[in-house]
Amino acid sequence: MEILSFEFLSALLTIVFIDLILAGDNAIVIGLAARKLPKEQQTKAVIWGTVGAVVIRAVATILVVYLLDIPWLLLAGGILLLWIAYKLLVDQNDHDVKPGNTLWQSVWTIIVADAAMGLDNVIAVAGAAHGHVLLVVLGLLISIPIVVWGSTLFLKIINRFPWIVYVGSGVLAYTAAKMITHEERIAGFFASSNLFKWSFMILVVIVIVVAGLWKNNARTKRALNEKSRESH
């Protein structure tokens, strides 16, 4: 993959978008971990906590990039990423993060919580990078400032325009489908026909997004029925 080629730039945009769409939880964790600190220390906690979390995530992602060369791991990673794409749409996370009482307690909380929650991001970015370590590094460098300073704004945008989450889930599902079609052991099966390959990837995206929509609509109907029963 040549630098500044269309393939490179489109993969980089995908990585940045994945970083942002999966950054919502991290933004909440950062806010919760630093909420007890004095105002002048909150910014330091956010910056140092994010720096520590990003270093761990970068190392983990680069390791996964190389691990995906192991037979069948690309397929396994793709299937796991499909589950992550679905969960992004239907999950209602309750964040139980204890705030730190000191600056370094808060920094440590942010790093540990981010490492625990960062598996989805690591797998998604590694899959989108297609073995290109420079893409991982560039994607993180572009995304980090936005996550640190713009994550709250991005959360507000997602709350105002919920369809962005569906676009994000679709991008994850597409990345997962691409990982599956690139698995060496079954790549020949998809290489026989471009039409079949693209039909498979489009079908995967549609199934994930529709499944998420169906689940969310069912949940909304159930909540409305319970409300109407309570009012009667």
Q: Does residue 197 form part of some domain?
A: yes
Q: Does residue 48 form part of some domain?
A: yes
Q: Calculate the average pLDDT of the chain.
A: 80
Q: Does residue 172 form part of some domain?
A: yes
Q: What is the pLDDT of residue 10?
A: 87
Q: Which is higher by pLDDT, 119 or 45?
A: 45
Q: Which is higher by pLDDT, 137 or 119?
A: 137
Q: What is the pLDDT of residue 212?
A: 93
Q: Does residue 1 form part of some domain?
A: no
Q: What mean pLDDT do residues 93-120 have? A: 69
Work out the percent of the chain whose per-residue pLDDT is above 90. Answer: 12
**What's this model's pTM, rounded to 2 decimal places?**
0.73
Closest by Cα among 23, 42, 25, 44 to 34? 42
Locate all alpha helices (DSSP H) within 68-132, ordered by sequence. Answer: 73-90, 103-117, 119-129
Domain count of the fold of the chain = 1
Domain of residue 133 covers 6-231
Measured at the CA of 123, the angle between CA 121 and CA 3, to 5 degrees, comes to 90
Burial tier of 180 (Cβ tally within 10 Å: 0-12, 13-18, 19+): buried
Q: What mean pLDDT do residues 133-157 have? A: 70
Q: Does residue 51 form part of some domain?
A: yes
